Amino acid sequence: MPSAIRPPVPNPPAAVIFDFDGVILDSARMKTDAMVDLFGARNGPFEAAVRQTVWQNGGLTRTGSIAVLERGVFGREPTPERVAELAGRYAAMVDDAVKDCPLIDGAPELLRALDGTPCHLVSGTPHRTLLDTVARKGLGGFFVTVTGAPDDGTPNDKSAVFAGLVATHAHRAERTLIVGDSLTELVGARHIGAPFAGVVPPDVPDPFPAGTAIVRDLHGLAALIGVG
């Protein structure tokens, strides 16, 4: 992880870049559970490793996560055919189910309070699937840009996406808050010199490095950044 000094969380920020699952939509646990079940790891010796690997690689596409799990947890070299087959099964498990996931507590209030502050959404979910979910939840109007992973399954480098958004929209990195629930977003924030706030559910121990700003829901984020 980059060792640059961490900028303090701005109060208020000049721009905000949000992850989606586990940050705006309360879907991260469902998707992680689906990945555990996809590999038949529920209540088995590999369950903890699957969950930890998914968290550490939260910004990867589903195909990227599957390949990492195949190689890193199960010791198998992932073939394109195997990854495609598992990704199709995973999509069937989660892509329709997300419509029933609620928003994170405080999300509507925070997004309304940020009216006038440029907000961006960046996710490892395939782009078309992400756009569909955002539209179903009536969230499109809150974001200047919505960026999902390429639909061809190639990786979504969040560090590069964050850097591109800051440059394209002339945001000052040190005043642009990155909000995520995985190590991927934290690394991306450090990469561009932006402050970071982690969203950690109330019933989950804080998994982030010591000194990382965390909130338990988006009411907490609103209080942290002085909006609402």
What is the SS3 assignment for 162?
helix
Q: Is the peptide bond before 78 cis (omega within 30 degrees of 0)?
A: no
pLDDT at 60 (0 to 100):
77
Task: Give every CB contact of residue 111 below 8 A, 6+ residues apart in sequence.
Answer: 24, 119, 139, 142
Complete domains list, the chain, with CATH: 15-26+102-225 (3.40.50.1000), 28-99 (1.10.150)
pLDDT at 2 (0 to 100):
44
Stated pTM of the model: 0.90
Q: What is the rounded distance in angstroms from the CA atom of residue 61 to the CA atom of residue 156? A: 7
pLDDT at 76 (0 to 100):
95
**How many Cβ atoms are within 10 Å of 160's Cβ, its own excluded?**
13
pLDDT at 94 (0 to 100):
94
pLDDT at 153 (0 to 100):
67
Kindly report, residue by residue over 148-184, the tens digit of the pLDDT: 988 776 767 899 999 999 999 999 999 999 999 999 9
pLDDT at 152 (0 to 100):
75
DSSP conformational letter for 82: H
Low-confidence ranges of the chain (pLDDT < 70): 1-5, 153, 155
Kindly report, residue by residue over 100-124, the tens digit of the pLDDT: 999 999 999 999 999 999 999 999 8
pLDDT at 5 (0 to 100):
60
